[in-house]
Amino acid sequence: MILITAELNFFFRKKSTRINLKRLFFFIIFLIAVVLIYTTLFQMISRMEDQEHSWVSGLYWVLVTMSTLGFGDIVFESDPGRLFSMIVLVTGVVFLLVMLPFTFIQFFYAPWLEAQAQARAPRKLPSDTRNHVLITKFNSVAISLIDVLKTFNYDYWIVIPDLSEALEVSDMGYEVVHGNVDDPDTWKRLQVEHAAMVVANDNERVNTNVVFTIRELSDLLPVVSFTNVDEAVDILKLAGSNLVLNLAEMMGQSLARRVVSGSARVHVIGRFQELVIAEAPAMETPLVGKTLKESKVREITGVNIVGIWERGEYRLANSDTVIRANSILVLVGTVPHLRKYDELMGIYHASDAPVVVLGGGRVGESVARSLKERQIPFKIVDRGKYLQAYQEHLISGDAADFQVLKKAGIDEAHTVIITPNQDDTNIYLTLYCRRLRPDMQIISRATLDRNLHTLRRAGADFSLSYSTMGANAIFNYLQRGEMVLLAEGLNIFKVNMPEKLCNKKISELALRDQTGCTIVGLEKNGEIIMHPEPDFRLSRVQKMILIGTLESEKKFWKYYSDGKPSEGKRKFFSERLQMAMKQTRFGSGKWSDE
C-alpha cells in the first residue's frame, strides 16, 4: 500500500504527466463522440434499408466493425451501407488499433512505469533525513556493511547512476537512490550535509571524484574511501577522505596476525586502549588437559583467558573449560601481563619451520611483508615470478601440486595461509592441505561471507572475509573506536553502563549465560579497571568493556536496553559522531589496524 501511494505521488507530481493525462482524456472523449456519431448514422442507414435495430444493437455493430471482429450477424446490402461500413472499419483500424494503444502507452503507461521506477529508486531524499549512511557502489562490502547498519538501526542508501541497475538492486530489497555520484546536485538532493557518513567503495579513480565533489558541499562530513593501490592512498587523502582503506593490505596484515608462530608465545591481534588482546597456542604446554581453574593462569600472570578457538570455532571460557592440545587461547591483559605469560610459556612448542603462503597477489604480498616484519620464516607458492622483493622466498609452481608444496616445506610447516581471491580455489586448497597435514594451522581468505562456513568445514582454523573486514573497518570508524574487530565474528566493544546493571555486583549478573558476552574490563574517568572481582559493584559512571560475537552484542542490547537494542546504541553513537564532526575537519582521520 505504501509503495502504491509513493507511485501515485511520483505519477501526479510531474507537470508533464498531468498534461499527458489531459491529452489522453480528450482523445477518449473524441473517440466516444465518433462512436456515438457512427451509431446514429447506423440507425439512419438501417431505416433506409427497412431494417429495424435497437440503439444497443447499433452500438454493438459499430464496436464490432471498428475492432475488425466482423461477426457478420448485421450487414448492409446497399452500396451506401457498405461504403459506411468501410469508413467505420478504416476509422476503427486507425483510432482503436493504432492511435489508442500508442496514446495510452505514451500518455499513461510509460509515465506510470517511470513513476514506479522513481518510487523504487528515487532521485532525492526527504528534507528531514538525518544521520544516514550513503554508499556509492553495490558490492560485497556494501552488503556486509548494510547488514551491520541494519543491526544498529542506521538508515542507509546506495547511490547508483544506472537506473536499470538501481531497479534491480531495489528489487533485491535494498534502499536505493538514483543519481550521478560526481554531480553536486545529487548529493544536495540526498541531504549529504546531514549524513552520518559517505562510503566511497568504487575504484580509486571514481572514489577520488566522489570525495572531491562532496568536499565542495561539506568539510565536516566523514568520508571513507577504498583502494587496492598503495599509491592512491595519499591522493584520496588529498581529495578529502577522512579514512582510506586498502583492503588488500588490511587483509594481508590480518591473515598474518592470525599466524601462531612456531612457539607458545603470545601474538597480539588487537588493542583497546591499554587492554591488549592476544592469542597463544596451548600445544605442548603444561596447560594441556587442565581446566582454567586448575591452570591458575590469571593468578600467576594476571592474564585473563576469555575464550578458546578450536578448529575455527570460538567458545567462551569459564573455570571448568578444559584446555586441549589444539586449543588456541584468547588472552586479555596489559603488556606486562602478557610478557609474564611469555616468560612462562614461550619456551614450549619451539619451531623454526616456515609459514607456507599460497598465492602471491596483492594479499599474498601483504602477508609476506607482515611476516617479514615479524621475522617469521616463510615461503610463497605462486605461478608468477614478479615478486621481485621476495625472490628468496618464492617457490614457482601450482599450489595444488604436491611436489611444489613439498618443496615449499609443507611437511614441516606449522601454518599455511591461503590468499587467492577465488573462493572455490581457496576451498579446494584448504581441503587439500588439511588432508596432507591434519595437525597444521590453516588460515584462509574468503571474498564472500557465504563461503566462510564452507571454508571451516573444509578444515580452515581461521577464515577472514574480505567484505566483512571492510564493513567492520567502516563501522569501527563510524563508532570512533568503540568497537574493535578481533576475528571473523568476534569483537571487543565498549558500552555505557546500562540502567538495569547499576548498583549490582558482577557476581549477581547472568551476563554470560544470557548474552554470551564476557566482561574484560571497566572504564571510569578514562582509566581501565582490569579483571574486576566478582563482588565489584557497578555504577552509572562506569563503562563496560565486553568481548563477544555480533550475535552476543545483539542479545546484550535486547536484555539491557528495554527491548530496544538498536535505538539506544544508535543514539549513543549519533551523539558522539556529531561531537566529533564539530571538533575535527577532513584530512585528520588516521587508520591503524593495530
When pLDDT is averaged across residues 190-209 and rounded to a whole number, the result is: 93
User: Quick one: pLDDT at residue 586?
Assistant: 38
* All cell numbers assigned to 369: 611483508
Main-chain dihedrals φ then ψ at residue 47, nearest 5 degrees: -65, -35
Q: In this predicted structure, what is the pLDDT of residue 190? A: 93
Task: Please tell me the CATH code under which domain 2-120 is placed.
Answer: 1.10.287.70
**CATH for 489-581, among 3.30.70.1450, 3.30.420.40, 2.30.30.100, 3.40.50.720?**
3.30.70.1450
Q: How many helices (H) and strands (E) does the chain have?
A: 23, 22
Spans of all domains in the chain: 2-120, 133-241, 263-345, 355-467, 489-581
pLDDT tens, residue by residue, 456-471 = 899 998 888 888 888 8
Residue with cell 464490432: 64
Q: Could you tell me what percent of the chain has a pLDDT over 90?
A: 30
Residue 585: what pLDDT? 37
DSSP state of 193: G
Asked whether residue 574 carries a pLDDT value surpassing 50, the answer given is: no
Residues 287, 293, 297, 302, Cα dihedral to 10°: 170
Q: Which grid coordinates belong to 407?
A: 618443496
pLDDT for the residue 480 = 60
Take residue 463 and report the three cell numbers written for it: 577464515
DSSP 329: E
% of residues, the chain, pLDDT over 70: 85
For residues 468 and 454, give the distance between their C-alpha atoms in angstroms, rounded to a whole number: 16
Average pLDDT, the chain: 82
| Predicted local distance difference test score (pLDDT) of residue 541 | 66
pLDDT digits (tens, 9 = 90+) for 424-433: 999 999 999 9
Residue 197 to residue 225: CA distance in whole angstroms: 11
| Higher-confidence position of 388 and 60 | 60
Q: 355-467: which CATH topology?
A: Rossmann fold (3.40.50)
pLDDT band at 115 (very low <50, low <70, confident <90, very high): low
**pLDDT-based confidence at 188, cuts 50/70/90?**
very high
Reported confidence tier of residue 508, pLDDT bands at 50, 70, 90: confident
CA distance linking residue 134 with residue 159, whole number of Å:
7
Q: What are 296-351's pLDDT values in tens digits?
A: 998 899 888 888 887 767 788 888 889 988 788 888 888 899 999 988 887 776 66
Q: How do residues 517-556 score in pLDDT, each as one tens digit?
A: 888 888 887 788 877 777 888 887 678 888 887 778 778 8
pLDDT at 594 over 60: no
Question: What's the pLDDT at 4?
Answer: 53
Say which range, 188-197, 260-269, 577-586, has the weakest mean pLDDT.
577-586
pTM for the model stands at 0.67
- Per-residue pLDDT tens over the stretch 143-180: 989 988 887 788 999 999 988 888 889 888 899 998 89
pLDDT of 429: 96
CATH of 263-345, one of 3.40.920.10, 3.30.70.1400, 3.40.50.1460, 3.30.70.1450: 3.30.70.1450
pLDDT at 9: 58
pLDDT of residue 580: 39
Work out the number of other CB atoms within 10 angstroms of the CB of residue 384: 11
At residue 117 the predicted structure's pLDDT band, cuts being 50, 70 and 90, is: low
Question: What kind of fold does domain 133-241 have according to CATH?
Answer: Rossmann fold (3.40.50)
Helix, strand, coil % (nearest 5) of the chain? 50, 20, 35
Do 263-345 and 133-241 fall under one CATH topology?
no
